[in-house]
Amino acid sequence: MIYYIYADDKKAFIEECYPFLEEQKIVYLPFSKLGEMNVDQAIHLLVTGCLHEIKILMGIAHQNGLPLGIIPTEEQKELIRTFDFPAKREEAISQALQVNEKKIDLLYCNGEIVLQEVVVGDAPPLDRFDSTLNQKSFFDRVKIFWRTMKRVKELKHTQMKITVAQSNEIKLSAVGIVGIEYPNHTFASKLIASQLCSTDGKFSIVILSPTSIMQYIGYLFKSLVSHLTPQQLPRSVGYIRSSKITIEPKEPMNVLIDSAQKQLTPIELEVEEKALALGAGEKFWEKQGKESGTKDSIKIDHLPSDDESANYLSKSIPLFSHASQEQYASLFTSLREESKLSSTFMTLLILSTMIATFGLFINSSSVIIGAMLLAPLMQPIVSLSMGVLRQDTTLQFNGAKTILIGVIAVVITAALIAVFTPIERLTTEMAGRLSPTILDLFVAIVSGAAAAYAKSNEKILGSLAGVAIAVALVPPIAVAGIGLGWGNWHMFFTAFLLFITNLVGIVLAAALTFTILGFSPIHIAKKGMMTWMGIVVIVAIPLYSAFSQMKEDIEVQRTLSNLVFNVGEHEVKLTHINLLHHPKRDEIRCEVISTGILSKDEKARLKEAILKSIHKKATVIVTFRYRL
């Protein structure tokens, strides 16, 4: 005998199903008369109702070894999608009547069947169905993203003890957990789709544990705005797959089973393997992952588990990640050592200065690059940035002292070489360090960020060599030393300005990067960051002025290069235009290509035409070339 149990308010729906069930011997019973069902005479069960009513029938079918067919209503779209029930009424009834040899697992939470998901705490968007984004425009998805982001302030970490089937205890900190058995199109199931199998006696919990708002934003944006499933598990998410899991938070947390049946933790989740013959569609079986066997699957190594992180995150989720005690201790030990003045540091610095200075004299970029790689000056600068960040007086003092003594040593070494070298010629490598602009500050800032990131990650420490080449700390100080040796104060100050630019840019950017990486709370870092921000602004004033001058020079060169003058009997064109800036009067040097030798009057007209074109006074020095 087939029993069709239906919700009391679905009488009209059942009447529409009568024509498709005429050939079957069916006993129709509303849920209010469920007690009249004779289970011993039943051979098949059909059900139409809400999720709670469907789960009651699933429990009865499981306990009595009966096959079950679900005939969903049009409103139960997520249920239809999960088990691939046909949309057409006739096809849905036909599938519900079929006895499937394959049996699915049943997930229980504290004795209650979980049909879609169990949610512990708050885990947006893992507990949402992806249908919320279907046919949504980009702007609609952005609105959903912002609505979800507003809830971030409400999310708080709670320490949990999770015990898996083999009595393994796991301690971690999380804001929420989603437990699922079937591929049900939630964001949680999409992340671990390959792990889900409805016949292997295991289920999965997906754990949301963001350590920073920025980390969480990245996952939210990819999921809600770009509507893409991450190829790898996001850093803010972990999962455990087992046959039995007990979740015991330090503080009680709300529990929702299929968006209802509100409970409180602790909870016990357990699977009954291959417990129910359910008339699911073919696509449902195709979506199942491979059976995993007896071994549990756990991926939570990247989630916070130590007491320090848990206590820090329990107050609120910070904007940036908080470095662990182990990371903090390792980096600080290294930076404290590198901030101290040592014979090794001075030896390497002087040797690199000598190489750089000789490289500047012989105009060899490869020799100068070698000096950059050898120079250890980046180490105390990064140490100083951490001292600024953490308001660590000892670290700041040691770093500043080492930098100061190192810079004095470089200047004196380069000046002595310049004095005793019988060559006083400004090479292009020297000249390249005499015109610092705001662009050099940008290079220093990016290099400082790269240096701090490389220093915080032992796997990429080798990248510091590239940072040293990019920012070039020793060569500008060496040029300043050469200027001092030659008695050229303009050369000394402009080259030293480039070093100061590099120094302040690296300190500020490295401190900011260490903050982002979680090595200091923002309220501690704020004072030092604001101080160095002010220093950077002061340094940027002459740099911006130089940048404006550079733009003006480029415009002058472009203007003169495109002009052809007729100064009388001859036509002339200017090439190889260079502008030199002196304290009293600027100088324009160029080559003049002429059709013949210019007279004195023609030269005067040429000078007048040049100065009129650039709208400024300057000394004009030309070299004549003649077109034959």
pLDDT tens readout for residues 7-26: 999 999 999 998 888 888 89
State the Cα–Cα distance between residues 116 and 77, nearest whole angstrom: 12
220 confidence band (pLDDT: 50, 70, 90): confident
More confident residue, 587 or 350: 350
Name the token pair of 547: 């940048």
**pLDDT-derived band of residue 44, with 50, 70 and 90 as boundaries?**
very high
Instruction: Say yes or no to pLDDT of 521 above 80.
Output: no
C-alpha distances out from residue 187 to 121, 183, 442, 451, 473, Å = 16, 10, 40, 37, 49
DSSP string, 83-125: HT--SSHHHHHHHHHS--S--EEEEEETTEEESS-EEEE--TT
- Looking at residue 303, its amino acid is L
Highest mean pLDDT among 13-22, 62-71, 230-239, 546-555: 62-71
pLDDT tens digit sequence for 403-455: 999 999 999 999 999 999 888 888 989 988 888 889 889 999 988 888 888 88
Cα angle 594, 596, 598; round to 5: 85
15 touches 58 (CB < 8 A): no
Nearest to 453 by CA among 532, 509, 373, 533: 509
- Work out the average pLDDT over 237-251: 93
CA–CA separation, 126 vs 149, rounded Å? 14
- pLDDT of 45 above 90: yes
Res 324: pLDDT = 61
> Smallest Cα–Cα separation from 116: which of 77, 71, 160?
77
Q: Is the pLDDT of residue 468 over 70?
A: no
- How far is residue 589 from each of residues 560, 575, 576, 611, 613, measured CA to CA in Å? 11, 10, 8, 12, 15
Query: Is the confidence at residue 167, as pLDDT, over 80?
Result: no
pLDDT at residue number 259: 87
Spatial distance between the Cα atoms of 39 and 49, rounded to a whole number of angstroms = 19
Round to whole Å and give the CA distance between 71 and 48.
5
Using CB atoms within 10 Å of the CB of residue 267, give its burial: 0 to 12 exposed, 13 to 18 middle, 19+ buried: buried
pLDDT at 310 over 70: yes
pLDDT digits (tens, 9 = 90+) for 349-406: 999 999 999 999 999 989 998 888 888 888 899 999 999 888 888 999 999 999 999 9
Q: What is the pLDDT of residue 460?
A: 63
Q: How confident is the model at residue 293 (pLDDT cuts 50, 70, 90)?
A: low
- Which range is least confidently modeled, 38-52, 182-196, 313-327, 588-602? 313-327
Task: Map out the domains of the chain with their CATH numbers.
Answer: 2-99 (3.40.50), 112-315 (2.60.200.40), 325-543 (1.20.1080), 563-626 (3.30.300)
Which residues is 211 bridged to in the sheet? none
Which pLDDT belongs to residue 219?
83
pLDDT of residue 286: 86
Distance CA 590, CA 578 (A): 6
pLDDT reading at 535 higher than 70: yes
Whole-number Å distance between alpha carbons of 438 and 298:
50
* pLDDT of res. 316: 78
pLDDT at 67 over 90: yes
> How far is C-alpha 574 from the chain's CA centre?
51
Q: How is residue 56 written in tokens?
A: 């009651």
pLDDT at 628: 67
Q: How many helices (H) and strands (E) does the chain have?
A: 21, 21
Q: Is 432 exposed, middle or buried (0-12, 13-18, 19+ CB in 10 A)?
A: middle
| pLDDT band, residue 136 (cuts 50/70/90) | confident
Work out the pLDDT band at 60, boundaries 50, 70, 90.
very high
* Arithmetic mean of pLDDT, 588-615: 87
pLDDT at 291 over 70: no
Q: Is the pLDDT of residue 524 over 90?
A: no
53 — pLDDT class (breaks 50, 70, 90): very high
Percent above pLDDT 70 for the chain: 95
Taking each helix axis from N to C terminus, what angle separates 365-374 and 474-486, rounded to the nearest 10 degrees?
110
* pLDDT value at 602 more than 90: no
Q: What tokens does 249 get?
A: 């938070």
What is the pLDDT of the chain when averaged over all its residues?
87
pLDDT at 458: 65
Contact 500, 378 (CB under 8 A): no
Mean of pLDDT values over 507-524: 83
**pLDDT, position 582:** 73
Q: Could you give phi then psi for residue 299, rounded to 5 degrees?
A: -140, 90
Could you tell me the pLDDT band of residue 322, with boundaries at 50, 70 and 90?
low
| 518 confidence band (pLDDT: 50, 70, 90) | confident
| The predicted structure's pLDDT at residue 153 | 77
**Minimum mean pLDDT among 189-193, 322-326, 338-342, 563-567: which range?**
322-326
Strand-by-strand arrangement of the 44-48 sheet: 26-30, 2-6, 44-48, 68-70
Q: How big is the chain by its Cα radius of gyration, in Å?
A: 37
